Structure 1
Amino acid sequence: MIHPEDALFDEKAGGLLTKLKGVDLASRANALGGTWAGESLTLSLFGRPHRITREVIRDHEGNPATPAVTVLLCRYILSRPSELPPASPEWVTLRDIKGAGVLTSVFTDNTRKIIETAFTGHPDSLAAASATLGGGVESHRGYDLSIRFLALPRIPVLIHFNDAEVGMPAQCAILFDRSAQDCLDLECLSIIVTYLAGNLIG
């Protein structure tokens, strides 16, 4: 059975691919942080190369990208500002992004809980899973584990994780550089969080 959300993304993906046909991908490659070769644009999503043409987007295994990932990459290409916003020193959660509402808070909580449940008692496994997505361990005071990813070129994501202790459950936070909201809308940032959580737990 197809989930209603899958059908929604499928419809959006088709419309965005149609818009992509009018875009000179080669001329945008550098500004997007990608590479152009063999009539296709390559962009990395969490370290995994995705090949984009005007007809199809393929993932790192050569398969057609999921509708959600297609929506994300198309919007990244179509919405890229002519001048990149400066990086911000401020990290924010999805619920802090402009336009976020109650449903966003619920989504964020559920996504965090997926990671917390999967890696309680196993922070080393979280670090190992993160490495397969290009995540690098950083040192941040107050956290057992902090991992920085590059979701898309110039779109960093940071995970803070504290393992469970006596009387205290595991806690996870997923954060974006605040400048991410100038490049991608809330739906696309939600897709990034979903992709990250889903691939971390396998």
Structure 2
Amino acid sequence: MEDPAFVRVHALGNRFEADLLMTALEQEGIPAILRSFEETPYDGLFVPQKGWGLILVPEDQLEEASRLIEEILRDLESRRLYQDPDQVDELLWRQLDQLDPEDVCRRAQVSYDRDRSGYRVPFLTGTLCCLPGQRALELIEAPTGTRLDFQLVLVVLHYLLEAKATPLAGKWIGERDIPGGALFFRGPHAFPTGRLLQCFGDHREAFCRALEALGGVPVSHGDAAYRLWVLPRVPLLLIFWDGDEDFPAELKIRFDASIQDQLQALDTIWALINLVARGIAAPLPGGL
């Protein structure tokens, strides 16, 4: 029987949906119980009839939880429309094609291949080639977990268009410290740190191996931390705290305070983090 203090708010289709929604509810301070039909004595017998499982929430927070879940599922559905690189706005390609390559290279700290009329863009441990005239992005050396998709093309185009030749601020900030970030980076736009922690478990060693595989440099923060260069002017700091019997493991992502000098829009920053998270999780069981 359901706990009398909790009521059903959503039937789940799969484990991915469960992880996403439970993380979002937790970040919004809404207590939630996950009941998976796969983990019952019936060993998944009811999954085809009832779904993968249920989420239960306190009755007095049912309306708030329902609104949050509806927003996330709506966003998931819209994101499925934006997976193909060809769906990136043509205007971005046209704008880049009209810029002076020398200026782009100076601002973004990239190089220009005149034989191919394309920009060579360092990305994590690899190199990309952006060809505005062909409306194409190529993976010259693909970092772990990198695949050619909508988010990768979007981030690279915005970086080449927007990057400024300004020095780093030398101050690390969280996503909620970015103007507008406190409202934007929540619900469907929350960073996937919860799902990464599920990949790591409580194993700091797995975190360290994954970050080192992407070129991360150890720094002194938390129980383990790495500075990671995603793009030439975009460093990230990832900080891991071990869990114990009182507190779960925790993962935080920090930006140099100059981040919006290089990527202006919050949704582009969110896409950047999704790309990095995918690279981190690639060698781990399940990935992202």
Q: TM-score range by the shorter chain?
A: 0.7 to 0.9
Does 2:151 correspond to 1:68? yes
Shift of 1:72: 0.7
Call closer, same or farther: CA 1:95–1:197 in 2, change over 3 Å. same
Does 2:133 correspond to 1:50? no
Does 2:124 correspond to 1:33? no
From 210, 227, 232, the equivalent of 1:153 is 232
Give the TM-score normalised by the residue count of structure 2: 0.62
Give the TM-score normalised by the residue count of structure 1: 0.86
Structure 1 Cα separation of the partners of residues 103 and 206 of structure 2: 40
Q: How does 1:127-166 map to 2 (within 5 A)?
A: 127-140=208-221, 143-166=222-245
Structure 2 Cα separation of the partners of residues 14 and 93 of structure 1: 32
Shift of 1:27: 4.5
Shift of 1:86: 3.0
Q: How does 1:1-202 map to 2 (within 5 A)?
A: 4-8=78-82, 10=85, 11-37=87-113, 38-39=115-116, 40-54=118-132, 55=134, 56-60=136-140, 65-81=148-164, 84-107=165-188, 109-140=190-221, 143-184=222-263, 185-202=265-282
Opposite residue 80 of structure 1, the aligned amino acid is A
Opposite residue 20 of structure 1, the aligned amino acid is L
* Deviant stretches of 4+, over 6 Å: none
Call closer, same or farther: CA 1:193–1:169 in 2, change over 3 Å. same
Opposite residue 175 of structure 1, the aligned amino acid is R
The answer for unaligned runs of 5 or more in structure 2 is 1-75, 283-288
Structure 2 Cα separation of the partners of residues 64 and 77 of structure 1: 19
Opposite residue 119 of structure 2, the aligned amino acid is L
RCO greater where, 1 or 2, for CA within 8 Å and sep 6 or more?
1
Structure 2 Cα separation of the partners of residues 64 and 196 of structure 1: 11
Give deviations 1:14-58, integer Å, cap 9, x for gaps.
332233222233542233111223422111121221111112111
Answer with 1 or 2: which has the greater Rg: 2
- Secondary structure of 1:166's aligned partner: coil
Opposite residue 126 of structure 2, the aligned amino acid is R
Opposite residue 179 of structure 2, the aligned amino acid is K
Could you tell me whether the CA contact under 8 Å between 1:51 and 1:57 is conserved in 2? Answer: yes
The answer for unaligned runs of 5 or more in structure 1 is none
- Percentage identity across aligned positions? 20
Structure 2 Cα separation of the partners of residues 91 and 179 of structure 1: 9
Shift of 1:181: 1.3
RMSD: 2.4
Q: How many residues align?
A: 197
